[in-house]
């Protein structure tokens, strides 16, 4: 018996070892050549993840929320005329803080509070300036109304590091406000794959109970931790945090959710971190505008009733690759940007566009 087997990839016949049985399905990792081929995104990025029919039209009521990357999804859809309920002036926390609910516990709390009337025993919810967001009934009812109207939930997961109230085991949205911190009861930990997978399933079951025909799309934010509260490097802690969430999503999708044809995963994390040499701006946290744009064009192509053709998407990806190459060769200021992150430390090179440099300076003032 031969020790090699032939297979076809990107129109070429290749050989690999055949020592072990490979099963009925073998999807190979792309090469640099793969990235240049027509249909690359369909064949290598979203393969096996697509809905039978794109569920989103311009009229479909959508609620995107979760981590900070949710704001990119929200703004892209708003700019293209989609019906994003969180941008319609609703007086609820998902609309006000929809990109600040960075862990699965916080996301689950909103569904349980709105639909089931489950009120946390302690103050867990705080705004960007540490202000207390209470459990006001009018806000809860506004949340109920929006969730009941929604046909597509797009939920972005951010991190698995959590602060919690030890006596009640309740998890905060983010960290504990400094003036409220009590070391006797406020603790920090890394939540587990099992916990996060369970939270996702509880979210799915609540949506099926109250909105049985709604679509549920999960995605993972590529934005890394700004800092870790663990006694280790933030780079390693971030790798753990994202790995926990990605594994939790996969475990969740291999359970009952895997047979739920109205539940999906979109690979934002993989698009940003796997397809580019220099996906992040100088702060190494926020993706470049062209990276966000191609990520969202992939989403719109396959999850929305859009006019984006296969050729359009290929051309957009080729342009994003070109801009990525320009960043690698000439630095962060070689490409268009919609904002400059604070404290990034990059400096525009001599001869680069003056308007770009002015934009950078004004954003830091």
In a domain, 224, yes or no: yes
If asked whether residues 188 and 93 sit together in one domain, one would say: yes
Distance, in Å, from the CA atom of 164 to the CA atom of 349, rounded to the nearest integer, reads 45
What distance in Å separates the CA atoms of residue 102 and residue 98, rounded to the nearest whole number?
9
Angle ∠(112,113,115) on CA atoms, nearest 5: 65
Which pLDDT tens digit goes with each residue over 59-78? Answer: 999 999 998 888 899 999 99
Under the banding of pLDDT at 50, 70 and 90, the label for residue 347 is low
> How many other C-beta atoms lie within 10 A of the C-beta of residue 324?
20
Name the domain boundary from 242, 266, 290.
266
At 354 the pLDDT is 40
What is the tens place of the pLDDT at every residue in 16-45?
766 666 677 888 899 999 999 999 999 999
pLDDT digits (tens, 9 = 90+) for 73-104: 999 999 999 999 999 888 888 988 867 788 99
Tens-place pLDDT, residues 268-280: 999 999 999 999 9
User: Does residue 307 lie in a domain region?
Assistant: yes
pLDDT tier, 353 (very low <50, low <70, confident <90, very high otherwise): very low
Asked if residue 321 is part of any domain, the answer here is yes
Mean pLDDT, the chain, whole residue set:
89
CATH assignment of the domain containing 162: 3.40.50
Distances (CA, A) of 219 to 89, 153, 154: 25, 11, 8
**Domain end point (choices 212, 245, 266):** 266
Angle in degrees, CA 65, 303, 80, rounded to 5: 70
Measured distance CA(272)–CA(278) in Å, rounded? 9
Environment class of residue 131 by beta-carbon count within 10 Å: exposed (0-12), middle (13-18) or buried (19+)?
Answer: exposed
DSSP string, 24-38: S---PPP-TTGGGST
Element (H, E) at 97: helix 93-97
In this prediction, residue 345 has a pLDDT band, given cuts at 50, 70 and 90, of low
Range of the domain at 119: 51-266
Note whether 118 and 150 are same-domain residues: yes
Question: Is the domain of 205 the same as that of 314?
Answer: no
pTM: 0.88
Q: Is residue 162 part of a domain?
A: yes
d(CA 296, CA 71): 12
**Is the pLDDT confidence value at 129 over 60?**
yes
Q: What is the pLDDT of residue 93?
A: 87
Same domain, yes or no: 119 and 258: yes
The whole-number average pLDDT for the span 162-173 is: 92
Report d(CA 237, CA 190) in Å as an integer: 10
Q: Which residue shows structure tokens 């989609």? A: 82
Number of domains in the chain: 2
């Amino acid at each position: 018996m031969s020790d090699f087997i032939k297979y076809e990839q990107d129109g070429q016949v290749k050989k690999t070892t055949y020592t072990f049985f490979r099963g009925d399905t073998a999807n190979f990792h792309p090469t640099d050549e793969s990235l240049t081929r027509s249909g690359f995104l369909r064949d290598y990025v979203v393969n096996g993840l697509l809905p039978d029919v794109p569920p989103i039209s311009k009229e479909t009521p959508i609620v995107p929320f979760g981590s900070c990357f949710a704001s990119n999804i929200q703004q892209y859809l708003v700019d293209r005329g989609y019906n994003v309920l969180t941008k319609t002036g609703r007086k609820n926390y998902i609309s006000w803080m929809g990109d600040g609910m960075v862990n699965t516990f916080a996301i689950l709390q909103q569904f349980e509070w709105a639909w089931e009337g489950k009120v946390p025993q302690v103050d867990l919810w705080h705004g960007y300036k540490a202000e207390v967001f209470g459990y006001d009934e009018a806000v809860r009812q506004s949340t109920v109304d929006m969730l009941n109207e929604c046909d597509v939930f797009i939920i972005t997961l951010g991190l698995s590091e959590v602060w919690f109230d030890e006596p009640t085991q309740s998890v905060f949205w983010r960290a504990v406000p400094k003036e409220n911190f009590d070391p006797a009861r406020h603790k920090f930990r890394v939540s587990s794959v099992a916990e996060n997978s369970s939270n996702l399933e509880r979210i799915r079951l609540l949506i099926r109970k109250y909105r049985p025909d709604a679509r549920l799309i999960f995605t993972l934010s590529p934005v890394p931790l700004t800092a870790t509260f663990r006694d280790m490097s933030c780079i390693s802690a971030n790798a753990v945090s994202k790995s926990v969430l990605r594994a939790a999503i996969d475990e969740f999708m291999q359970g009952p959710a895997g047979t739920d044809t109205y539940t999906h995963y979109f690979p934002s994390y993989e698009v940003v971190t796997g397809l580019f040499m220099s996906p992040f701006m100088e702060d190494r946290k926020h993706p470049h505008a062209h990276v966000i744009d191609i990520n969202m064009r992939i989403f719109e192509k396959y999850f929305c009733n859009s006019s984006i053709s296969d050729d359009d998407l290929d051309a957009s990806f080729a342009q994003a690759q070109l801009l990525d190459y320009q960043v690698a060769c000439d630095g962060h200021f070689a490409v268009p940007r919609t904002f400059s992150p604070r404290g990034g430390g990059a400096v525009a090179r001599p001869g680069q566009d003056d308007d770009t440099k002015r934009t950078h300076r004004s954003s830091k003032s």
